[in-house]
Amino acid sequence: VDVRRLAGAGSLTAASTRRLVLVGAGYTGQRVAEGLARAGRAEMLVAALDDDPSKLGQRVGLVTVAGPISALPEIAAAHHPD
């Protein structure tokens, strides 16, 4: 996965930072989270979701898996992603 293509380039500022919820905390989700955690990205993870109960509470980049994908409406209301 080319995280640079997914995340884009740009400096991290409050006005330009996009808040994201990661759906899927498997191998690819982990790689995306790691790429977004690097300094200088214009995106910031605010939560992660995964339907695998064993991933609940596990770290994915700088966030933890907050619940199943079906919890997206509640997570979106709490974290205000873009």
Structure confidence by residue, pLDDT tens digits, 47-68: 999 999 999 999 998 899 999 9
Supply the pLDDT for residue 10: 46
Contact 2, 29 (CB under 8 A): no
Closest CA to 58 of 20, 18, 19, 24: 24
Contact 4, 35 (CB under 8 A): yes
Mean pLDDT of all residues belonging to the chain: 84
Q: What is the mean pLDDT of residues 16-39?
A: 89
> What's the CA gap between 19 and 39, in Å, rounded?
15
Contact 49, 32 (CB under 8 A): no
Helix ranges restricted to H, 1-82: 3-7, 27-37, 72-79
Asked whether the predicted pLDDT for residue 29 surpasses 50, the reply is yes
